[in-house]
Amino acid sequence: MASRPECACGDTSALAGGKKRIIFPCAGTANVGLISNEAALQLAEEGYGVATCIALLGSGDPGLKKRIADADEVVIIDGCPMTCGVKIAIAQGIIPVQHIVVTALGIDKVYERDYTEEEVERVVSAVWEGKGRSVDEATISCDNPESDRDSGCGCRGNC
């Protein structure tokens, strides 16, 4: 299990590292989608961030977009190389700071509901360790000129 930082302020309602994070898991029904969702819920329970529905992001909900604008980081946990979650985010003008793909962690995609706690922990640990912070430029493009925040690809609005 990865080492998880404690909240420096002592307030258990604050998120780890003092960051406001929104975590969007895959909505897939294969094992890797279910693992993605379970990992996001576990990360939320551990204080890493708040798990939120990727379908709501896809709807363009203005309330969610405001929450995202107020957040420090957006984390996408996709189940497979289809990367539906990150594609939904980009379509809404959101570039994640961290993007994890479950199958890239050595977990095979099968169309079954079976998965292990070890597989969930592998994803949770990858997020805590920041393994999704290296941006895959083939998957994520930095074309959001309105953004004045670092969108995870090293730019601040002039990409």
So what's the pLDDT on residue 18? 82
So what's the pLDDT on residue 71? 96
Asked if pLDDT for residue 159 goes beyond 50, the answer is no
Q: Residue holding tokens 């003008």? A: 93
Q: How far apart, in whole angstroms, are the C-alpha atoms of residue 61 and residue 82?
A: 23
Give the pLDDT confidence of 108-130 residue by residue, as tens digits: 999 999 999 999 999 999 999 99
So what's the pLDDT on residue 16? 65
CATH topology of domain 19-133: Rossmann fold (3.40.50)
Distances (CA, A) of 65 to 9, 29, 55, 61, 89: 27, 25, 13, 6, 10
Q: ∠ CA 158-20-36 to the nearest 5 degrees?
A: 95
Give the pLDDT confidence of 3-50 residue by residue, as tens digits: 444 433 233 334 566 889 999 999 999 999 999 999 999 999 999 999
**Residue 53 banded pLDDT, cuts 50, 70, 90:** very high
Determine the distance from the C-alpha atom of residue 150 to the mean position of all C-alpha atoms in its chain, rounded to a whole number.
16
Determine the distance from the C-alpha atom of residue 37 to the mean position of all C-alpha atoms in its chain, rounded to a whole number.
10
> What number is the average pLDDT over the span 96-100?
97
